[in-house]
Amino acid sequence: MQYILKIKEIEVPLCIKNYKTAKTMKILFKEDGIVVTKPFYVPKIEVDAFLQINEEKIYEKYKNMEEIKRQKEGRWQTGQTILYHGEEYKIDKSYHNKDIIRVRLEKESKIFRILLPKQIQKEEENAYIKQAARKLFKENTEFMLQEKLPYWSKKTNISYNSVQVRDAKTKYGSCIPKTKALHFSSRLVMLKEEAVDAIIVHELCHIVHPNHSKDFYTLVEKYIPNYKEIDKYLKQIAISHKLTI
């Protein structure tokens, strides 16, 4: 069900969803508002109390989301930067007479080159650039995994059955242990190399330990001794929203 949650000066779109398998209430933050998931038997009055307890958290997170949204709307300007293999590439946007959008990474000069048709509508620019950039980063991530994944699978002696690269925004990777299926974010190629290695090993180890137990982290750190340090780096990157495209 759809509602509007009023907190201080803001109005937050709210959706409440019931799940048979849910055991507790949870708040999920989406681009267009928040979603509360709950068991079927929990009444609306308890949801309201739950939201009131978490009001300050919702307010701060939603305000932050709105600020990120504003930043994204002003994205892809010359002089701004984007991450690639953990390094900052300067954006250089220009226009040409061809009826085609091109984006490319120039590694020597650390330039992210954007070429747009002169006749393109200004209000459509960001959407087209984002689409092209996501395609480029997905292809580069897939190419990188073709080299790295077999290496780490052999080194850890952990086999997998399938791998898929998705445009995931909130997770670097995930694993379905029963089917040995691995999923990775197309933004992996934006991270420094040792962080990518850590993420790959993390997901492979979930095939052996489908949890975050002590045994799981012992296995991960067997191959990535500085995993805790890399994990801090990944959390900092997530907080700074440097992987936003």
Q: Which domains does the chain have, with CATH numbers?
A: 2-73 (no CATH), 81-131 (no CATH), 138-240 (3.30.2010.10)
pLDDT digits (tens, 9 = 90+) for 105-160: 999 999 999 999 999 988 888 889 999 999 999 999 999 999 999 999 999 999 99
How many Cα atoms within 13 Å fall on the side-chain side of residue 66?
12
Please give the Cα distance from 183 to 129 (Å, whole number): 25
Asked if pLDDT for residue 74 goes beyond 70, the answer is: no
Q: How large is the average pLDDT for residues 42-68?
A: 88
Strand partners, 175: 182
pLDDT recorded at residue 244: 75
Q: How large is the average pLDDT for residues 85-103?
A: 93
CA angle 37, 39, 43 (to 5 degrees): 95
**Cβ atoms of 220 and 194 closer than 8 Å:** no
Which is nearest to 16 in space by CA: 29, 5, 3, 31? 3
Residue 241, number of CB atoms within 10 A of its CB:
14
pTM over 0.85, yes/no: no
If one compares 32 and 241, the residue with the highest pLDDT of the two is: 32
What is the chain's mean pLDDT, rounded?
91
